[in-house]
């Protein structure tokens, strides 16, 4: 970890705990900052706050008193999920207190170079692929997963050595709160409409994603999905060296041609050798190949890592096979596009789809063409009525509603015959019934494993 003194004796407010808030508070405390933590959860139900209090951090819980901002803070580090319209955040900005997210702290202390991965879909898979590619036959240091993938960036950065590299998944929420953050390699998997309830507009969402490259220069590399006109246009505005990837045409980077994956005319591996199915995973693999090559990884090592990669938890994750029926957990599909991509990897006539969840007010008309041809669909959660209408428009004859994913798994088992696929790919967030998509996916997997 770099020794920095710019935060020594500075009054810093950490707003919101969870993993990243705890990590940020501990790092700031170790850097000599005068840290105050403010979290909405009551103290007696807040083990994280209790732990920080024992370390000597000032802790205020149970509410967010706006007058707290009168105490002369020079910096606010907020939980990425807290919107900028939240009164404490809005007031901090009025007072010209800089508001950052925890990944900015990670950059400030990291001795290791950073590879930052963002995009609407495919971030977690691509991030994991890249780490696997860079760790394959690695002799010095390690590629360390960090960020939105579940490992607080500031914690990983504080432990990393110069020989390591941080492979950091970054959300739009995190990137909106950066100032000096500077990855050596940036990756944008794709850009679609998402999180408008947080950002307020598509323009703000895209601008937040594009922050990834704001401090990059010609010595850095920006790996972009060349299939998207929007990213081709944005590429004209960056100072970074752009490396394109495409599953649709030959480009001056990584591409798919005649069923094989290449990097600048060099054969890497055949597409059917990838350890995960689907065109979207070909795109993810192309991005990983580009990063591997930019990091001077051997071609054979890149190919081996991608052949041995069988997905990440809750992202088209193979659970098990029961009586010839294969079960997949894609609980991380929290929007329509993610479910479309998951279904594209299978013969839909054999798929029994489990879908539903939090109602954000959107319709599912865009999903209708992808649902066409499904063997059956099992629906749950707040959106099951809307999804039923979409399924009817798609001409699905077997439409059933159940209470939750556990009941859905049991019913799918009764409907399925040898050769079928049972796929949990909700196309919705989980918060109507489950605290997060991980718990939703685990409930499904537990039900499948109990069959």
Binding site residue list for ATP: 119-125
Strand order in the sheet with 254-257: 143-147, 165-169, 114-118, 185-188, 221-225, 241-246, 254-257, 260-263, 266-270
Q: How many residues does the chain have?
A: 451
Determine how β-strand 11-15 pairs with β-strand 260-263.
unpaired
**CB 114 within 8 Å of CB 108:** no
* Helix axis angle, 123-135 to 279-294, nearest 10°: 40
Helix (H, G, I), strand (E, B) or coil at 234: helix
Beta strands, E only, 291-355: 317-322, 325-329, 351-355
CA distance linking residue 357 with residue 344, whole number of Å: 21
Nearest Cα to Cα of residue 18 among 115, 110, 209, 150: 150
Q: How many CB atoms lie within 10 A of CB 212?
A: 26
* Residue 212 backbone zone (phi > 0: left; psi -120 to 50: alpha; other: beta): alpha
Q: Token match 């960056």: residue?
A: 238
Mapping DSSP onto H, E and C, the string for 65-97 reads CHHHHHHCCCEEEECCCCCCCCHHHHHHHHCCC
- Name the 3-class secondary structure at 252: coil
> Could you give the CA distance from residue 377 to residue 354 in angstroms, rounded to a whole number?
6
Q: Binding site, residues?
A: 119-125
410 SS3 class: helix
Taking the alpha carbons at both ends of the chain, their separation in whole angstroms is 48
The burial of 279, by beta-carbon neighbours within 10 Å (0-12 exposed, 13-18 middle, 19 or more buried), is given as middle
- Closest to 189 measured CA to CA, from 250, 105, 242, 120: 120
CA distance 52 to 59: 7
């Amino acid at each position: 970890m770099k020794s920095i003194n710019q935060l020594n004796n500075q009054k810093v407010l950490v707003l919101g705990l969870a993993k990243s808030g705890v990590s940020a508070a501990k790092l700031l405390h170790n850097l000599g900052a005068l840290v105050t933590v403010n979290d909405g959860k009551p103290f007696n139900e807040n083990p994280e706050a209790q732990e920080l209090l024992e370390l000597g951090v000032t802790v205020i819980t149970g509410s967010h008193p706006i007058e707290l901002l009168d105490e002369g803070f020079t910096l606010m580090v907020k939980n990425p999920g807290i919107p900028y319209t939240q009164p404490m955040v809005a007031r901090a900005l009025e007072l010209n207190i800089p508001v950052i997210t925890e990944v900015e702290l990670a950059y400030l202390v990291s001795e290791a170079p950073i590879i930052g991965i963002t995009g609407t879909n495919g971030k977690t898979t691509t991030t994991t692929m890249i780490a696997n590619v860079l760790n394959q036959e690695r002799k010095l240091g390690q590629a360390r997963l960090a960020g939105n993938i579940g490992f607080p960036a500031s914690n990983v950065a504080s432990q990393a050595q110069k020989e390591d590299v941080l492979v950091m998944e970054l959300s739009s929420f995190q990137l909106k709160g950066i100032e000096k953050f500077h990855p050596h390699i940036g990756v944008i998997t794709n850009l679609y409409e998402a999180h408008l309830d947080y950002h307020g507009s598509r323009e703000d969402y895209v601008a937040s994603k594009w922050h990834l490259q704001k401090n990059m220069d010609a010595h850095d590399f920006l790996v972009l999905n060349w299939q998207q006109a929007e990213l081709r246009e944005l590429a004209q505005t960056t100072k970074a060296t752009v490396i394109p990837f495409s599953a649709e045409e030959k480009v001056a980077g990584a591409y798919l041609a005649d069923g094989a994956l290449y990097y600048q005319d060099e054969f890497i591996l055949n597409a059917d050798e990838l350890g995960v199915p689907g065109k979207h995973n070909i795109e993810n693999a192309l991005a990983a190949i580009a990063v591997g090559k930019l990091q001077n990884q051997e071609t054979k090592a890149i190919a081996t890592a991608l052949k041995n990669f069988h997905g990440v938890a809750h992202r088209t994750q193979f659970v098990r096979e029961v009586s010839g029926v294969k079960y997949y957990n894609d609980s991380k599909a929290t929007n329509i596009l993610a479910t479309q991509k998951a279904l594209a990897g299978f013969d839909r006539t054999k798929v029994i789809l489990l879908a539903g969840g939090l109602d954000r007010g959107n319709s599912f008309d865009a999903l209708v063409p992808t649902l066409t041809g499904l063997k059956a669909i099992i629906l749950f959660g707040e959106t099951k009525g809307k999804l039923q209408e979409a399924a009817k428009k798609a001409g699905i004859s077997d439409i059933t509603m159940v209470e939750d994913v556990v009941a859905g798994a049991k019913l799918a088992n009764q409907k399925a015959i040898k050769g079928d696929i049972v796929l949990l790919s909700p196309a919705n967030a989980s918060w109507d019934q489950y605290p997060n998509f991980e718990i939703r996916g685990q409930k499904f997997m537990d039900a499948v494993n109990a069959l």
